[in-house]
């Protein structure tokens, strides 16, 4: 894709050995729960280094490690000490931008960054179903990333790529080999979703203690369309979602009607024989 080659040079132009061969990255929404996960994942990453963090106007100008209500265990990475939180809308030096913004600000900010030549990888839901935005799980549909070449901002070197809803990640991974082998006509999905999915401002302990909340705003509307976009299918998907008092880890009960019903052994073999796209072989977080 013309104009989208990434550079590993530090954003500040320094020759520090630590940053010279890794691509600098900015994280939007860096103080939230997803933003914290991204910051943690960038610690010691082979390909990328954390260069800029963007937060709210209220926290802008403060030290990231001090201003962030760290909630994912341990301490903020040592590299974040002294890293200043930047305000929304600031001009970023980093070519690659990871967005953990809420949907409302993400819609405008992500498109603006892509038009300005940034490669934006977003966790926000608002741009996932745009026809020109690849919705990617590398192990399932890595080839979809080629769609960035036809995006209206590609000539400027920009790109916008989305990852799917948290439930859809696991669901698509499990159903991809079944769909490819036998075809799926319809699916009924019942989720039991952990508290981590609600973010820092989610349900409090009183609401969830010994309780199941049988509705999550907007969640049911995402799962079917995103699953079909990733698998390139028209599966009839019925969904019921529940928030449960579990800290981390979602569960889904899935019932499928297949176009060519297999034997139990054939279904098991299809799952066992599934292999991710060869293009994912170099990804450092790929399970082995």
Burial of 262 (0-12, 13-18, 19+ CB in 10 A): middle
Tokens describing residue 102: 């809420």
Would you state the pLDDT for residue 15? 36
Q: In what order do the strands lie in the sheet with 159-162?
A: 85-86, 48-54, 23-28, 96-99, 119-122, 159-162
Largest CA distance in the chain: 61
Architecture of domain 169-280: 2-Layer Sandwich (3.30)
DSSP classification of residue 89: T
Would you state the pLDDT for residue 88? 97
The lowest-confidence range among 184-193, 195-204, 230-239 is 195-204
Q: 17-162 and 169-280: same fold? A: no
Domain covering 17-162 in this structure, CATH number:
3.40.50.720
Q: Average pLDDT, stretch 62-75?
A: 95
Q: How confident is the model at residue 124 (pLDDT cuts 50, 70, 90)?
A: very high
What residues act catalytically?
166, 250
For 2-33, what is each residue's pLDDT tens digit? 445 554 333 343 334 455 689 999 999 999 99
Domain map (residue ranges) of the chain: 17-162, 169-280
For 240-280, what is each residue's pLDDT tens digit? 999 998 888 999 999 999 999 999 999 999 999 999 888 88
Would you state the pLDDT for residue 204? 66
Would you state the pLDDT for residue 18? 53
For 205-215, what is each residue's pLDDT tens digit? 657 778 898 99
């Amino acid at each position: 894709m013309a104009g989208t080659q990434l550079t590993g040079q530090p954003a500040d132009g320094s020759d520090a050995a630590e940053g010279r061969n890794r691509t600098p990255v900015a994280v939007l929404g860096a103080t939230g729960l997803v933003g914290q996960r991204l910051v943690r994942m960038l610690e010691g990453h082979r390909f990328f280094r954390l260069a800029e963090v963007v937060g709210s106007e209220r926290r802008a100008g403060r030290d990231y490690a001090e201003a962030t209500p760290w909630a994912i265990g341990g301490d903020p990475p040592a590299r974040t000490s002294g890293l200043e939180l930047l305000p929304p809308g600031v001009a970023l030096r980093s070519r690659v931008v990871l967005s953990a913004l809420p949907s409302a600000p993400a819609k405008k900010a992500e498109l603006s960054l892509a038009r300005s030549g940034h490669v934006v990888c977003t966790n926000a839901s608002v741009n996932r179903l745009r026809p020109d935005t690849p919705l990617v799980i590398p192990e399932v549909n890595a080839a979809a990333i080629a769609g960035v070449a036809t995006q209206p901002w590609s000539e400027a070197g920009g790109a916008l790529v989305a990852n799917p809803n948290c439930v859809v990640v696991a669901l698509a991974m499990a159903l991809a080999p079944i769909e490819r082998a036998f075809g799926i006509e319809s699916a009924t999905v019942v989720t039991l979703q952990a508290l981590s999915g609600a973010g820092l401002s989610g349900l409090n302990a009183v609401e969830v203690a010994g309780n199941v909340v049988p509705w999550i705003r907007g969640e049911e509307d995402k799962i079917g369309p995103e699953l079909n976009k990733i698998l390139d299918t028209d599966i009839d998907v019925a969904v019921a979602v529940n928030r449960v008092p579990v800290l981390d880890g979602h569960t889904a009960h899935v019932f499928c009607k297949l176009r060519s019903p297999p034997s139990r052994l054939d279904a098991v073999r299809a799952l066992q024989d599934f292999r991710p796209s060869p293009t994912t072989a170099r990804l450092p977080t790929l399970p082995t």
